[in-house]
Amino acid sequence: MHPGRFRYHRAASLEEAATMLQQLGDEARPLAGGQSLVPLMKLRLARPTDLVDLAFVPGLSYVRHERDEVRFGALTRHAEIADSDAAARFPILHDCAAGIGDVQVRNRGTIGGSLAEADPSGDWAPVLLTHATEVRCVGPGGQRTVPLREFILDAYTTALGPGELVREIVMRAPPHASDERIGGAYIAAKRCAQVYATASAAARLTLAGDVCRDAAISLGAVGLTAVDATEAAEALRGRTLGRETIEAAAKAAAAAGDPQPDMRGSAEYKRVLAGALVKRAIEIAARRARGEQVEVSHEYA
Ligand SMILES: Cc1cc2nc3c(=O)[nH]c(=O)nc-3n(C[C@H](O)[C@H](O)[C@H](O)COP(=O)(O)OP(=O)(O)OC[C@H]3O[C@@H](n4cnc5c(N)ncnc54)[C@H](O)[C@@H]3O)c2cc1C
């Protein structure tokens, strides 16, 4: 199918794009990799009057990594993140980026577009929620920084105002003592490469030996937004990591989701799947925190 008629504009800077969007009105949309917007336009589920292309704005595609902070330009492609030094330092980034869609989607789709789309099954939000993540935005009112938790408000709904754009995403690992090690992992279960996850789980642990000093657990595709499973993290914090604590955390995480039945599976199936993914994500995060190199890929069933 072909999209409806629209006017195409090319912005030279984000500020210019923000001004254009404001002038063009409510039905104008920014275009990044086009991997969500263009399919929706072809299905006539989105009918923008104008597209403001961000792809030619210079300096928006980068992964900058310094100590425990990673900064992503909004136009950074998933493939670029998968291949970055930051993904070697934080394997959870590779777990996520290397499994999004297929090669074509990863070579075109951007992290900024992904967060702005706020698809409940998107892979980036659960991963970034396990770290302190901020979204830096620019718009007609100037620049502002929004914590990720306050950026995604609902399914397909963000805190972005009219004409406002994502400029940069900043992810930070939590501060930790010299005897503590951090590990993270993300696993998504998908029916095949070209579709979104049926359920997904991200875990970030801070370990001192076998004791979990800090944790964050989040889920994707089992709610209207990514779910911050705080009770699951609480079940790990301050405890020795073992089969029972991991089981308790997985159970708490599964209870935190609110999955809806659809063509991917029943609500009960997704809940059980989410619990199993959390368990494995915790186990892999723990092995990584202990210095083990563990390869993870999305799972296809
Ligand atoms: C076949 C297929 C499979 C996919 N599988 C997955 C998957 O498994 N996991 C997953 O997470 N994603 C998946 N995706 C989506 C993919 O990750 C997209 O890249 C992503 O959702 C949107 O990024 P984009 O750069 O393509 O944005 P676009 O499609 O260009 O834009 C998406 C939305 O964000 C807005 N927008 C874009 N950039 C900005 C910005 N800088 N500031 C403000 N608003 C902006 C646009 O106006 C639009 O509303 C899949 C897509 C396809 C086509």
| Domains of the chain, start order | 7-53 (3.30.43.10), 63-172 (3.30.465.10), 181-300 (3.30.390.50)
pLDDT in tens, 150-195: 999 999 999 999 999 999 999 999 989 999 999 999 999 999 988 8
* Rounded-to-integer distance, Cα 223 and Cα 61, Å: 30
**Ligand 1, residues 9, 16, 24, 35: which to mutate, most atoms within 8 A of Cβ?**
35
**Ligand 1, residues 37, 187, 225, 299: which to mutate, most atoms within 8 A of Cβ?**
37
Give the pLDDT confidence score for residue 67 in this predicted structure: 87
Report the separation in Å between the CA atom of 167 and the middle of ligand 1, taken as the mean of its atom positions: 15
pLDDT in tens, 93-130: 999 999 999 999 999 999 999 999 999 999 999 999 99
Helix (H, G, I), strand (E, B) or coil at 154: strand
pLDDT in tens, 264-285: 999 999 999 999 999 999 999 9
Angle at which helices 267-289 and 243-256 cross, to 10°: 140
The contacts of residue 87 (CB under 8 Å, 6+ apart) are 63, 81, 93, 94, 97, 98
Atom of ligand 1 at shortest range from CA of 101: 5
Q: Residue 1 pLDDT more than 80?
A: no
Q: Looking at this protein, which amino acid is placed at residue 199? A: A
* Rounded-to-integer distance, Cα 158 and Cα 187, Å: 24
DSSP secondary structure letter of residue 257: -
Report the separation in Å between the CA atom of 19 and the middle of ligand 1, taken as the mean of its atom positions: 22
Residue nearest atom 41 in ligand 1 by C-alpha distance:
166
Confidence of residue 252 (pLDDT cuts 50, 70, 90): very high
Report the separation in Å between the CA atom of 233 and the middle of ligand 1, taken as the mean of its atom positions: 29
Contact 17, 52 (CB under 8 A): yes
pLDDT in tens, 10-30: 999 999 999 999 999 999 999
Encoded tokens for 232 = 């699951």
Contact 125, 220 (CB under 8 A): yes
Strands 152-154 vs 142-147: parallel, antiparallel or unpaired: unpaired
Ligand 1 pocket by Cβ (under 6 Å)? 29-37, 39, 54, 74, 100-101, 105, 109-110, 112-114, 116-117, 119, 122-124, 160, 165-166, 194, 196
**Ligand 1, residues 105, 108, 191, 218: which to mutate, most atoms within 8 A of Cβ?**
105
Q: Looking at this protein, which amino acid is placed at residue 300? A: Y
Q: Which residues of 198-232 are buried (b: 16+ CB within 10 A; e: fewer)?
A: bbbbbbbbbbeeeebbbbbbbbbbbbebbbbbeeb
Entry pTM: 0.96
